[in-house]
Structure 1
């Protein structure tokens, strides 16, 4: 990975304010990338049907009992939504309320009242339009394009790196949704550096070291690194206290590290020795990003006598609010037409790598690609 940050600068303000660039990024980065839309368990029960917005696209997730199918949330007749926005229902079949067309949970057209030859009108059939999807460690990802790399190829070596945490078996305990008044890139940039930690996160800085971190070697569409817990801290909590429990497969060094993984373009996975926190990014506008934060714990810990996850939930609620205030303030600053992008610090290496990938994508009019795997 390149570390020549001495001449590097942040992006110009226009990169965070332009409506045209935001629309371009939404199309190139988000709609052509793999995006998390939730945990498979949320939708898998047979007959569950949920309407979810993903990168501005309306999708229908249908549970089959064994998994899920994902479709464009539009009837093949006249395009009426099959499930109302942000709603979840349970029904044995997919039913359009406009003209009563009926589809199976597999998306096949089953009935079109008084339109018996509907299925014959199109040589490809009149089933619901599928959306590419993949399941990974309990999460459901979708891809709105037809030419993206396979999801496993996109992840590279991340699956193996995260294997000791057994993410697919973890239990979700809490969810917080934030409306952050900042461009999505500012949130990624903030996540990729801890230069801001001593001044922005006094609570975090009491329990985690903020320098001398380890950068991870990535072979996929992700960037990340780790920072050590301080010797006085048992966990990432407001008082540094936590359960005497560690994921059994973590080695001694990793058990004392907080590991940060930015799965681009829209998922942060923060893994500690006793729990995992994730943040999903949903860009709404050039200066607004919806963030879904979720906490996950091993069942063994959740069912232990007297255990409560509040220590982790309270800690990250505090940290989140500090980050969102910092990012929102930065958004206001870069929006001033007099703003001039400043230099990067030598230890902002992951941020530098991310900005290089952005600049390369802008230059050749392409989706984000992992330049770091070529180093």
Structure 2
């Protein structure tokens, strides 16, 4: 019998929850179009609106402010199109980004290069609030959109959104969007309490199907004429018949994505980290000096090659990720780690463990043991003991 594998790559994709899968199957049997007025259409509409309410509850917003999309990338691209504005105010002419944003933000906007500023990060991966304040003062006469993720996908570092919003409000004419893809279900996030203007999320990071997400707008914030024009669905912001099964799954996942499980995941994560520290005195944990998502551990051991480590761990039945991106067979330095000042040699060995709703102590133990064997092999090769 093949032994079970340990899937610890939830920041890439979290497996669909059984309750979500069952809800999606039920939604597939609904024959009506949510825009139709007959009984079948009304049933489909009711399912869609129930999901909208669930997503709104999860992020602290009004249901009427949730716009369903194909995922986090579409949602972020839409909000960074340059059309986002408060009612009665001009759309932003400048964009301010964190230096460690996901590509759907850093490469997904439509602002000209000369109108984009990037805020540096410190060595722990936290935004430099002083640099952000300086930028806002420099552009005091401009309408500014700030986009800073709630938590980083590689390191798990959590950004100080409340402080960022406070600086934006002091500026007076700045809007704040957060890419909350990695934060939903892992930490509490209330966009109304924080004062955020827009938030984007993706369902497959917290147990919903792939290909469904949402853009959430604060009250009084608009997106102009809409970003997908067609039949007027989603409050005329995103035309096209809604992906009802995906939306239903997103709603159920939003209800189940309880940040109260954070302590359990943090215990598993910390156990893996403690095991690594015991066998690898020179272990480096990226973001260790900052608040991190409870499920995420990004680390490197000097001399350990990430691609080789990933293959070895995969053969041992452990699925994790690398902090480096691969393109055309070449390992590239992670822009996130580069922004944190990590040397290329160390960044080339970065590995990421990310746990989720179905992670168990057995998974963590298997990962810990496999990583320890990997380090022992490295140290033997280097000719010294751990």
Higher helix proportion (structure 1 or 2): 2
User: Normalization by structure 2: what TM-score?
Assistant: 0.25
Structure richer in strand, relative to its length? 1
